[in-house]
Structure 1
Amino acid sequence: MSDIQSILSIAKRTLETESKAIHNLISLLDEQFAHAVQYILDSQGRVVVSGVGKSAIVASKIVATLNSTGTPATFMHAADAIHGDLGTIQKNDIVVCISKSGNTPEIKALLPLIKIGKNKLIGITGNMDSLLAKQADFALSTYVDKEACPNNLAPTTSTSAQMAMGDALAISLLELRGFSSADFAKYHPGGSLGKKLYLRVADIVVNNQKPQVNIDSSVKEVIVEISEKMLGVTAVMEDKKVVGIVTDGDIRRMLSIHDNISGLTAKDIMTSNPKTIDVDTLAVNALELLQAKGISQLLAFDKDTYAGVVHIHNLINEGIL
């Protein structure tokens, strides 16, 4: 069995090597990067990102990041491009080629074809003396001293540097476009991330029943209402206004205190000034309030009107938690 400290030492060395290489990219940034970003920003076309091997996988990730942050992008494998997929590149598109060496056969074969189409070319390479760097309209250096691999062979540090450079491009474009959290939600309507950005309390309470009893309702009526509405709570009303709340916890506490409950009403067991939330509040903020207060339900209001209940189970079911 391997020594735990030895394993941790290898992992730490790997992360240190890659973090140093990424930090070094800061010193490699120059006007070429700024011009590349500006050209993409002003372009009417898409960003077509291409590469071979591990660089192709990085290219796919960069495409996903660009698309999700407001810059239309598509992936084209460099090997497939010279075997029929070159039609992916349209008139106004900008091509980004990623290659550590900048001299792989597929990239070298692709470069003159991009020039024939008169598309602007951004090269991301670890070799600024390569054919890719020399033929690119904008050459971005991702030079690394060594791979994290002890044999200096497996693409590790170099692909991390490529990924980081792609993120730098994407985030620069995001900020220059003024891409907001609302825009981000539009591009991420599914999943917990999207829901955190757009799902509101109103979207939840509309699907719940609306438990409520009068202030003079009997304890039996309160228990029936809580049970039937299945939210573990009911609002207590007086003159069409909420004056309190009764939870299933209040019911249990009542039973532990009183032997005879026949004369008790909602007023006797309710909690006044219940925790409330506006229906326009983001569901994720409702979750934060529930967690901060250590409670399971909130009464939701549309202005001054009782709208229903949001339960922590609703938020779990929506994937917010």
Structure 2
Amino acid sequence: MKNRTDINIAAIAKKTLQVEAAAIDNLQKFINADFEQSVALIAACTGRVVVTGIGKSAIIGQKIVATLNSTGTPALYMHAADAIHGDLGMIRDEDVILCISKSGNSPEIKVLVPLVKSFGNKLIAMTGNIDSYLALEADLLLNTTVDQEACPNNLAPTTSTTAQLAMGDALAVCLIEWHGFTAADFAKFHPGGTLGKKLYLKVLDLCRQHDAPKVYLDSSLKNVIVAISSGMLGVTAVLDSNDQLSGIITDGDLRRMLEKSMSTDNVTASDIMSRHPKTIQCDELAVNALEMMRQHDITQLLVLDDKKYIGIIHLHDLIREGII
């Protein structure tokens, strides 16, 4: 393939984004009573939202299904062509049907719509042609009309599918608010990957993977060095005689002590430690530990169970789990 020097790639890309952004902005005027009733209908549904479509609209439908499922609204995808060859069997009486089509006049849609209506299910249309067969036959209409496709030939579905996707997101977000869907609820459906870990992984899950290095106020320098080395975290907690946290000693504290050329014969942990160390409770989310480390420009936190020292969470733990 020859290099094209006669086109401005950056200008074309920017124009594409401008056209699609304008189309999304224009959707605001289509948020009407039908949209509000669609949200209420789906929210009251005791079944699933069955999303169907053909061509590029079908692919957008799959994404909408994924978003609804992950945010607490049960949904499933049914390809319009497959529906009339047996997949209609997945529809239950209590389901709501969302049919997506740019033209609203595709042959498959014209076959499918009367079949769905014969079942008695409520039908929501998402289309860019409000005079189409789909729009006129549906119970409710989500208007995704666009002025033009970003495609230079005004043919390839680009702006129209972007509008469908955005309208689907608007629908999903309204349902999130309707149901009071929280971050804790979100975590239940996203246990895998980095996102899931940010939502459910606790400090305790990470700190218990290590020993909890500790010395006491009167511990010798040798014992301090052994504790820091054995823990392999570059740090140890310092406890008083009642096992209450008094301070922290890092390998940096040791280096600074040696740089002062002070005699080390009678040095104890209390002479080296930093008082008032940064701590975090064991039931906190690991991502909160990361935020504290960033805020204070440190690489570890001492972990407490109420007031009892139980271990250390290190920046490397968060890196290893993909939290960063």
TM-score per shorter chain, which class?
A: over 0.9
Name the CA distance, whole Å, in 1 between partners of 2:4 and 2:210: 54
**Is 1:295 matched up with 2:298?**
yes
CA separation in 2, counterparts of 1:138 and 1:147? 25
Aligned to 1:128: 130
1-side partners of 2:265 and 2:321: how far apart? 40
* Amino acid across the alignment from 2:196: G
Aligned residues: 321
Partner deviation per Cα, 1:49-107 (whole Å, 9 max, x = no partner): 01111111100000000001110000111111111211121111111110000011111
Aligned residue in 2 for 1:162: 164
Match of 1:241 among 240, 244, 264: 244
CA distance in 2, matches of 1:76, 1:260: 78
* Deviation (angstroms), 1:261: 3.0
Q: Which moved more, 1:256-265 or 1:268-277?
A: 256-265
Which residue in 2 is equivalent to 1:31? 33
Alpha-carbon distance, 1:226 to partner: 1.2
Question: Per the alignment, in what secondary structure is the counterpart of residue 52 of structure 2?
Answer: strand
- Separation (CA, whole Å) in 2 of partners of 1:4 and 1:315: 49
Letter in 1 for 2:107: P
Kindly report which structure 2 residues correspond to 1:73-112, keeping only aligned pairs within 5 A, or say none: 73-112=75-114
**Structure 2 residue 292 is matched with structure 1 residue 284:** no
Q: Which moved more, 1:93-102 or 1:194-203?
A: 194-203
Matched, 1:270 2:266: no
Any idea what SS the aligned residue of 1:44 has? coil
The alignment status of 1:117 with 2:119, answered yes or no, reads: yes
Q: Distance in 1 between matches of 2:37 and 2:102?
A: 21
1:44-63 correspondence runs (5 A):
44-63=46-65
Q: Single out whichever of 211-220 and 147-156 deviates more from structure 2.
A: 211-220
Whole-angstrom CA distance in 2 between matches of 1:79 and 1:189: 34
In 1, distance between residues paired with 2:240 and 2:293? 25
AA paired with 1:270?
M
* 1:137 aligned partner: 139
Instruction: Structure 2: give runs of 5+ residues left out of the alignment.
Output: none
Equivalent position of 1:222 in the other structure? 224
Q: Secondary structure at the match of 1:310?
A: strand
Q: Note the alpha carbon deviations across 1:193-239, whole angstroms, 9 max, x for none.
A: 12222222222222221010112222221111111112211001111
Q: Residue 215 of structure 2: which of 208, 213, 216 is its match?
A: 213
Distance in structure 2 (CA, Å) of the matches to 1:111 and 1:48: 13
Aligned residue among 55, 61, 73 for 1:71: 73
Q: Relative to structure 2, which stretch is displaced further, 140-149 or 240-249?
A: 240-249
Which consecutive residues of structure 1, in runs of 5 or more, have no partner in the other structure? none
Counterpart of 1:233 in structure 2: which amino acid? V
The amino acid that maps onto 2:213 is P
Displacement, 1:259?
Answer: 7.0
In 2, Cα distance between the equivalents of 1:5 and 1:54? 27
Secondary structure at the aligned position of 1:164 is classed as: helix
Partner of 1:316: 319
Amino acid at match of 2:268: T
Report the equivalent of 1:150.
152
Q: Letter of the 2:189 partner, please give it.
A: Y
Distance 2:180 2:239 in 1: 46
Stretch deviating more after TM superposition (212-221 or 147-156): 212-221
TM-score normalised to the size of structure 2?
Answer: 0.95
Residue 42 of structure 1: aligned partner: 44
Amino acid at match of 1:123: A
- After superposition, the CA RMSD in angstroms is 1.7
Q: Secondary structure at the match of 1:59?
A: helix
Matched AA of 2:261: H
Separation (CA, whole Å) in 1 of partners of 2:9 and 2:261: 61
Counterpart Cα distance in 2 of 1:138 and 1:166: 14
Give the secondary-structure state (helix, strand or coil) at the position aligned to 1:196: helix
Q: Kindly provide the amino acid, as one letter, of the partner of residue 264 in structure 2.
A: I
Q: 1:187 aligns with which of 186, 189, 205?
A: 189
Mean alpha-carbon deviation: is it higher for 192-201 or for 92-101?
192-201
**CA-to-aligned-CA distance 1:236-278 (integer Å, 9 cap, x gap):** 1111122111112222223333375343222222111111112
- TM-score where L is the length of structure 1: 0.96
* Structure 2 residue matching 1:202: 3-state secondary structure: helix
Question: Identity of counterpart residues, as a percentage?
Answer: 58
The C-alpha deviation readout for 1:146-191, integer Å capped at 9, x for no partner, is 0001111111100000001101111111101111111111111222
Q: Secondary structure at the match of 1:13?
A: helix
Counterpart-to-counterpart distance in 1, 2:117 and 2:205: 52
Report the CA distance shift for 1:5/1:316 in structure 2 as closer, same or farther (over 3 A).
farther
- Report the AA paired with residue 185 of structure 1: A
- C-alpha separation between the residues in 2 aligned to 1:257 and 1:52? 75
